[in-house]
Structure 1
Amino acid sequence: MEIFKTKKPLLDFVERQKEMGKKIGFAPTMGALHEGHLSLYAHAREENDLVISSIFVNPTQFNNPQDLEKYPRNIKKDIKILEESGNVDAVYIPEISDIYPDVLESKEYDFDGLENEMEGKSRPGHFNGVGTVVEELFLQVKPDNAYFGDKDYQQLAIIKKLTDKLKLPIKIHGVPIFREKNGLAMSSRNQRLSAKEKESAKIIYETLVKVNDWFRVITIPEINRRVHDIFDDQPGMKLEYFEIADETTLKQTDFFYKDRSYRAFIVVHVGDVRLIDNMHLD
């Protein structure tokens, strides 16, 4: 596996691969790799000649400096995981100056309102940071296909919109959520949970399953009430938000229309760890 720690060697490598007609699959990450990330590479391996990963903890998408400081980092462990996966041909671990050569700040984007829903309400500017780093990585890696997890569904929608608006010749793939045995969505932040907290956090997935059972059977206001009641009874947990939203516009809804698709979104704080999850409602 090739390891690139600066921009120039990566650009030379990508150019050589393109000259040979190689199709490139790409999955950018912030490290602290787990099986959810490995599922991205497995999907990429099936559809590409070459698979590239990146590891870069992007400072401009963190609203909370403490969250940035506490974000788990272990490059040596991550490289070993990538090597052992057998599905990654190269990893790019850029310096901040490779992504932000002039000044460490985000570009301003218009994602047609997607950026103002859910995460956008509680994390202003977050998706400008996401857009900035993803655009720059796309321009450097030049992938034919890029892979992102459905766990960050709003981010996936934002990246699809970014690619469309910039007219980048990249196909964006969403990969199903990879879950712990107890149903908890795999996340790098799970590493900060104690064993007891991780087991208790399974209530997040269990609640989404219940929401799917209640879908079209009871009203959305009643579903909202039941979800809030569930987390009011969970010690050490705080429900930040729960929404049922249109899968295309991401706008919260209070009524089901037969010709539209919906998804339940939830954010819960378990101790000082912020966990997100979602589920398609069928």
Structure 2
Amino acid sequence: MSNLDPSPAVTPCRSAAEGGQVAEFFDARAVPLGGIRGIEVERVLPQRRLPTVGAWCFLDRFGPQRADMRVLPHPHTGLQTVTWPLAGEIRHRDSLGSDVLLRPGQLNLMTGGRGIAHSEFSAGDRPLLHALQLWVALPAGQAGIEPGFEQHTELPAFQADGLRATVFMGALGPVVSPATTHTPLVGAEVEVTAGAAAHLPLRPDFEHAVLVVEGELEVSGSTVTPGPLLYLGTGRETLSLRTAHGARAVLLGGLPFPDDLVMWWNFVGRSHEEIAAAREDWESDDPVRFGLVPGHDGARIPAPELPGVRLTPRRR
């Protein structure tokens, strides 16, 4: 459920939204993940032309499929991981001592900050799993904060005729998630019943995107099915949603992220040196920076080799 690609692409990026309403599709790409038997994910973010949506900088969709997920301990820095299961259960353990079972409708939020390690295993023998793994980039002033972990089993919802939107991060209209955020953003799972036509309130200074995970949904005139991400730009105060047979989707949004970022493997930083130092600390098994995830007898995922080029940011 994290980036376990043994040869991760360099993802230097600067999010600098041009502003204004758009309706642009970005196709997901299939990524087989080493270390997870028989699992392939659809990677939706980052994209070359769309590295971020607000502070959201990474989005994998996994499933629905029956699989035995075994993600051994691995590190994170400079980000928050947001794990949102749609079906199945996931056991999370981390170097802070957290050991929890995550179910659909519940949120695991892990803040990497200066450094944390965790593992994720499916519960049961090849269960039906369907989930989203997202990352939120921490702003420069908080990128090196102390690591943390939160699980929220009860989350608020925005409701309208034929629509329910569970707000797992940030705020949607008057509804605010209890999860800790460090930049203005929104993350919500939206369920629309068959035959419904509904509207969601949006912040016009946010950029937004929609990923459909079940069914077919008309989003402000664009027909969206599972797979691609619909990027909506900024400047919208409402979002109209229609469906003939029912649909489920995830709405992401936030203020356009101002910082230059370099993303490589499971690290988010601002420079080549920062990423290289994080990799060296993980490979040297630094007990202070990343700690130990209990229950794995020291087993862990090694970091890939850095590419033979200097990691530098680029503009969207």
Higher strand share: 2
TM-score (norm 1): 0.27
TM-score (norm 2): 0.25
